[in-house]
Structure 1
Amino acid sequence: MTPSGLAPHDPAPQPHGAAGDDAAATPAPNPLPRQNEHKAADAPDTLSPRTEPHATGPHVVGAHAANRLPRPVPDASVLTLDDPGPLLANGSSADVFALDDDYVLRRYRGNHDAAHEARILRHVAAHGFPVPAVYLSEGPNLLMERLHGPTLLQALAAGEVAIGDAAQILVDLHEQLHAIPPAPDAPVDESQWPFVPTGPVVVHLDLHPGNVVLSDTRGPTLVDWANARAATAELDVALSALILAEVAVDAGGDYSHAARALLAAFLVRSAVSPIDALEEATRTRRADPGLVTGERELVEEAGELVRDLIRVAS
């Protein structure tokens, strides 16, 4: 895996400004009402090696002040627009378009139905978990709240968040998420990756710094829920560790040492040990259809690094 975004999941960042820039910097088309998607457009491809606590603490506040009421929620007609607005982000299976400062449209390609993601987002939001609000869902389209603020990855790269603080944010999000039971009416399409055994809690299966937005109104907020389902906390933590480890073992990566430090800090702080789920996580990760050339080859080595760091910590 390359450091450019930590994981190759959608949406891959598109240029919009320097780390920490307000996502609203992308101009919105006048005729449309709004929403946003997580990955701040220009996610840096680096992790800062900074390890001392930052003076401002772990939560970076964006420039977008919450001093006005959001505009009215757009009607369902925006879900089927051929040209919904500027492209904020895109990835292997979905694109995210800016409708305005308040709303975004997330649109899957192909025949993917966004209803599962919408159900999970509403379910975890009802339990107080920080996610962007979902307003409408139809076919491959989701009308969502637009978040403003840098990703945790961007804040790390800019030296605005220390590695220890970033690790704690990841741990806190895992712990809060794994306290949520699965929704009773949340079927999963078992023909779609990831193929994992079911479990007793809601999991994200792609929780890493590129998928955490340091929202100026919500604080650390988790995005990209395409893989979410019911599984075990151990598997979820193992996949997060594996994704970080892939950056750490990338011999051509300038920031592999910083990624290793973040991984070590994450493992030390986590009350959930991923060791028993690491083999399953490795199989799942290797089967990820979103991995690009060279990344799949890093998975086994990344798993060994996770094992080594767990042994050292114990």
Structure 2
Amino acid sequence: MEHIGGGRASQVFALDDRMVLRRSAFDAAAEARLMRYLHGVGFPVPEVFAAEGAEMTMQRLHGRTLGAEVSAGAVGVPEAAKLLLDLHDRLHEIDAPEFLTGSTRGIAMDADGTRKVLHLDLHPENVILTDDGPFLIDWTNAAAGDPEYDLAVTWAILVGIDVRDFGPELAAQLAWLEASRTDLADAFRDRTGRPARDIAAAYRNADPNTDQAESNRLQEALTDS
């Protein structure tokens, strides 16, 4: 099998031109169930063919990430912001299924009774641009709740991450973020209120992968907003 991608907790291998296998450090059943639900209502997620334990076989997407396209100059920052916001808006039209939890990292995203599907990790590296349009990947953090929190989490990701934390090779791939960070983040700040951004910062700070430096950047961004 050809290794074609991965992150902190998962690795992706090409099985053939149509399918990939993702191996994770966690059980993929809940994520696969949600992806099948979203595929069934027409939202652009990879089709899931099988899921067992930590392995999931799904549709292979042919295209580059939105981040890579911005880096190459093929997509401008305003267009990237619009695309991300459009994906949010399309997703937030979908009522969350009963099985999708509204509580995550100790935070009740559905505390006010609103239960829409939230991705909670919607950023340019999780959007694949294909000939059939953009697809949203990596649903491990999804929950049910108020859409404003999802928008605010994207803002928190954009203002908090320092690409240098990922090492020189990946930092070079993400160099586009430093050049476009402010414009992208502002698009999401303008769609959220301070209370939602406070929740988003708390959500990010509850992630064991968030270090003190990122937490400090988040707090600085909150103060400035």
Amino acid at match of 2:123: H
Change (3 A) 1:87 1:128: same
Q: How far is 1:285 from its partner?
A: 0.5
Q: Which residue of 2 aligns with 1:106?
A: 22
Letter in 1 for 2:17: D
Whether 1:229 aligns to 2:148 is no
Q: CA deviation at 1:158?
A: 0.7
* CA distance in structure 2 between the aligned counterparts of 1:164 and 1:248, rounded to whole angstroms: 21
Partner residue of 2:134 out of 212, 220, 225: 220
Give 1:264's aligned residue.
Answer: 186
Question: Which one of 200, 203, 221 corresponds to residue 284 of structure 1?
Answer: 203
Which residue of 71, 95, 109 corresponds with 2:11?
95
- Which protein has the bigger strand share? 2
- The secondary structure found in structure 2 opposite 1:88 is strand
What residue number does 1:75 align with?
none
For residue 258 of structure 1, report the CA deviation from its aligned partner.
1.8
Q: Percent identity?
A: 39
For 2:98 and 2:137, locate their aligned partners in 1 and report how far apart those are by CA, in whole Å.
22
Counterpart in 1 of 2:214? 295
User: Which has the larger Rg?
Assistant: 1
Unpaired segments of 5 or more residues in structure 2? 165-170
User: Do 2:4 and 2:13's aligned partners in 1 also have CA atoms closer than 8 Å?
Assistant: yes
Larger mean Cα displacement after TM superposition, 119-128 or 292-301: 292-301
Instruction: Give, in whole Å, the separation in 2 of the partners of 1:204 and 1:154.
Output: 21
- Aligned-partner Cα distance in 1 for 2:205–2:101: 24
1:186 Cα offset (Å): 3.4
Structure-2 separation of matches of 1:255 and 1:187? 31
- How far residue 90 of structure 1 moved from its aligned partner, in angstroms, is 2.5
Q: So what's the TM-score if we normalise by structure 2?
A: 0.84
One-letter amino acid matched to 2:202? R
1:174 partnered with 2:88: yes
Aligned partners of 1:151 and 1:213 also within 8 Å: yes
Root mean square deviation of aligned Cα: 2.5
Assess if the C-alpha contact under 8 Å between 1:235 and 1:274 holds in 2.
no
Amino acid aligned to 2:77: I
Partner of 1:151: 65
Structure 1 residue aligned with 2:126:
211
Work out whether residues 121 and 153 of structure 2, in 8 Å CA contact, stay in contact via their aligned partners in 1. Answer: yes
Aligned residues: 212
Q: Match for 1:116 among 26, 30, 33?
A: 30
Kindly tell me: are residues 243 and 140 of structure 1, through their superposed partners in 2, closer, same or farther at Cα, counting changes over 3 Å? same
